[in-house]
Amino acid sequence: MVHASAAVHASAPSIAPVAALLADRSRARMVSALSDGRALPASVLAQESGISASTASEHLGRLVAGGILQVERSGRHRYYRLAGADVAAAVEALSAIAPQPPVSSLRQSTRAAALRRARTCYDHVAGRLGVALTASLLERGALVRVDGGTGLDRVEGDRLSAPSRRCPLALGPSAGDVLGAFGVDLAPLLDRPDDSRPLLRCCLDWSEQRYHLAGALGAAVLEQLLAAGWVRRAGPPRALELTPAGRDELGARLGVADYRAAS
């Protein structure tokens, strides 16, 4: 007779193989370097990790075999990227619970502050800017809260820095007008196969402990911000910087105040 607890353990997914892959410092650095959604060649990832090209190749092979990374060939080079948004969310969640190294320099303090202000979470905007943008869309009726909660407050039971089990937001009555004025065309996002990536997902931001927008719409928002020159990638990996034009345009179109002053 099989004990009930043994049956549960046998049917539960084993996290040990994935944990073992990320337990190596060099592999963890490679995965972190890819957490902004970009694809990078092995040579760059070797430099990011401070290891030789041959050692990097071995580590990358294990990460691909383990389902953490995907690889595609372009000419003579192989480019690696995270296997998907779920992998990025898992890495973000691990970052939230990992011991933070002591800040021993002004440079380290500046890097940490930059990531709290605005960063990419795979292919969407996180940090204070991501939460501020989502709040503005909610206030203007482009999004509505559908679970009885208020604002972007956390649903009990949702984990920090991970996709919500059930996104508490839905498109609102003003979605087309508000997003259109922002430069995001909603029509092609709605006209997608039913089995494609969800239009709306919500991540519980680890630094703000409130929701920011993810999913296909979150990716479209970041794409528009970058294409319009309203944000740019700058400073530490994954960090975003709001440009002067972006500050003016987001203030005029979405009423996003100077989020940098938020606590």
For a pLDDT cut of 70, what percent of the chain falls above it? 81
Max Cα separation, the chain? Answer: 69
pLDDT at residue 5 greater than cutoff 80: no
Structure tokens at 78: 């192989």
**pLDDT for 216:** 93
Tens digits of per-residue pLDDT, 115-156?
788 888 888 999 899 999 999 999 999 999 998 888 998 877
User: What is the average pLDDT value for the chain, to the nearest integer?
Assistant: 82
Tens digits of per-residue pLDDT, 148-162?
888 998 877 666 555
Instruction: Tell me the one-letter amino acid at 263.
Output: S
Q: Which region among 45-59, 111-125, 130-144, 223-237 has the lowest average model confidence (pLDDT)? A: 111-125
Distances (CA, A) of 213 to 121, 163, 237: 10, 10, 20
How far apart, in whole angstroms, are the C-alpha atoms of residue 200 and residue 31? Answer: 25
Report residue 175's pLDDT band, with 50, 70 and 90 as the boundaries.
very high
- Domain architecture of the chain: domains with CATH: 4-83 (1.10.10.10), 106-261 (no CATH)
Average pLDDT over residues 42-58: 86
Report the candidate in 230, 233, 234, 238 with the shortest Cα–Cα distance to residue 256.
Answer: 230
Q: Are strands 143-145 and 169-171 parallel, antiparallel or unpaired?
A: antiparallel
For 153, what's the count of Cα atoms within 13 Å in the CB-facing half-sphere?
6
Please give the helix or strand (H or E) that residue 84 lies within, else none. Answer: none
Report residue 244's pLDDT band, with 50, 70 and 90 as the boundaries.
very high
Query: What is the phi/psi pair of residue 211, to 5°?
Result: -80, 145
Residue 88 near residue 37 (C-beta atoms within 8 A): yes
Structure tokens at 107: 């440079």
Distances (CA, A) of 169 to 23, 94, 211: 35, 25, 10
166 or 9, higher pLDDT = 166
pLDDT at residue 188 greater than cutoff 90: yes
